[in-house]
Amino acid sequence: MRYAISILVFHVALFISLQFIHCYNTHALHLDDDHDGDDQGTDLIEKTCKRTPHYDLCVSSLESNPESSGADLRGLARIMVDLVLSKATETLDYIRSLLKQEPDPELEKSLAYCAELYIPVVKYSLPQAIDALLGGHFGFANYGISDAAKQANACDKNFSKSSTSPLAEKNSLLNDLSEVAAAIISILLKG
């Protein structure tokens, strides 16, 4: 009887440890699979975005462009700055469309002021930043990008406290995208 019990205990113990080993292996293999499944592009995007102040925005922005998957770090920087430029252009177009129909003269003044701030960003600062990036002048590239963030913030602050900024969301997105682009370029700058 005692012998039968110890055989039983032995089998139960063996069963449990086999389950455990099986589970452990499956888990380990699963992690391994995940790792092997990542292509290099995704690895570089995640690794790079971890070094920016807006990880989720960085990953989603880069992944929305199919060219990101084959890009090196400089390519990712280029994609981000292009995105900053296209968002700034979009925002300027939006400001112009609001200006055409704004009945409140106070708001109209602020919108006109914002257009004045955005025009040189779209025409000069960001195109120059792209040229600088392509030429390997990373410090100068970041100078143009930080100007975009600065003007977006100045635009937003110009709406008086009584009226909330109709551009709040767009200005803040532009600020965050600029910070991501500048952070990626800073990695290039450090070499």
Ligand X SMILES: *[C@@H]1O[C@H](CO)[C@@H](O)[C@H](O)[C@H]1NC(C)=O
Instruction: List residues binding ligand X (CB under 6 A).
Output: 113, 157-158, 160
Q: What is the nearest approach in angstroms of ligand X to the Cβ of residue 179?
A: 23
Q: Based on CB atoms, which residue is closest to ligand X, 52 or 165?
A: 165
Which residues, 6+ apart, have CB-to-CB distance to 124 below 8 Å?
A: 144
Q: What is the nearest approach in angstroms of ligand X to the Cβ of residue 92?
A: 17
Residue 118 · residue 150 · CB < 8 Å: no
Q: What is the nearest approach in angstroms of ligand X to the Cβ of residue 106?
A: 9
- Give the burial string for 176-185 (b: 16+ CB within 10 Å, else e): bbbbbbbbbb
Q: What is the nearest approach in angstroms of ligand X to the Cβ of residue 109?
A: 7
**Number of residue whose CB is nearest ligand X:** 158
Q: Based on CB atoms, which residue is closest to ligand X, 146 or 158?
A: 158
Q: Based on CB atoms, which residue is closest to ligand X, 63 or 108?
A: 108
Q: What is the nearest approach in angstroms of ligand X to the Cβ of residue 159?
A: 7
| Number of Cβ atoms within 10 Å of the Cβ of 59 | 19
In terms of Cβ atoms closer than 10 Å to its own Cβ (0-12, 13-18, 19+), residue 110 is buried
| Number of Cβ atoms within 10 Å of the Cβ of 117 | 21
- The amino acid occupying position 75 is G
Q: Is 102 helix (H, G, I), strand (E, B) or coil?
A: coil
Q: Is 64 helix (H, G, I), strand (E, B) or coil?
A: coil
Q: Based on CB atoms, which residue is closest to ligand X, 165 or 175?
A: 165
Q: Based on CB atoms, which residue is closest to ligand X, 101 or 162?
A: 162
Largest CA distance in the chain: 97
Q: Specify the residue for token string 């699979």.
A: 33
